[in-house]
Amino acid sequence: MRWWRIGNAILMLLVLPLVIYLLNRVLAALERIRLASDEIVADGTELVSDLGGVPEALATTDQTVRDVATGATRYAGSVAKLLG
């Protein structure tokens, strides 16, 4: 019975404060992560309003890529005839 009391005393005096300390650090990190994620959500909702012109810009980019591809194909065909 004496060993149980010694074990319980060690548990209460050494292990329990360590567990509480580590839990406090984990919870503090969790709180910082939560605040950062709240800021990300707030900034993301502001960003959504700035993305209105993206579909038109992508359409312009797609058309430019098609035009360049057509010109490159014609150029490659001309070079092939010259070298050929």
Domain check: are 40 and 1 in the same one? yes
Task: State whether 83 and 61 are in the same domain.
Answer: yes
Q: Are residues 45 and 64 in the same domain?
A: no
**DSSP per-residue string spanning 4-42:** HHHHHHHIIIIIHHHHHHHHHHHHHHHHHHHHHHHHHHH
Domain count, the chain: 2
Residue 16 sits in the same domain as residue 41: yes
The range of the structural domain enclosing residue 65 comes to 54-84
Per-residue pLDDT band for 71 (boundaries 50, 70, 90) equals: confident
pLDDT value at residue 32 = 97
* One domain, residues 41 and 61: no
Predicted local distance difference test score (pLDDT) of residue 33: 97
**pLDDT tier, 21 (very low <50, low <70, confident <90, very high otherwise):** very high
Counting residues of the chain whose pLDDT is more than 90, the rounded percentage is 44
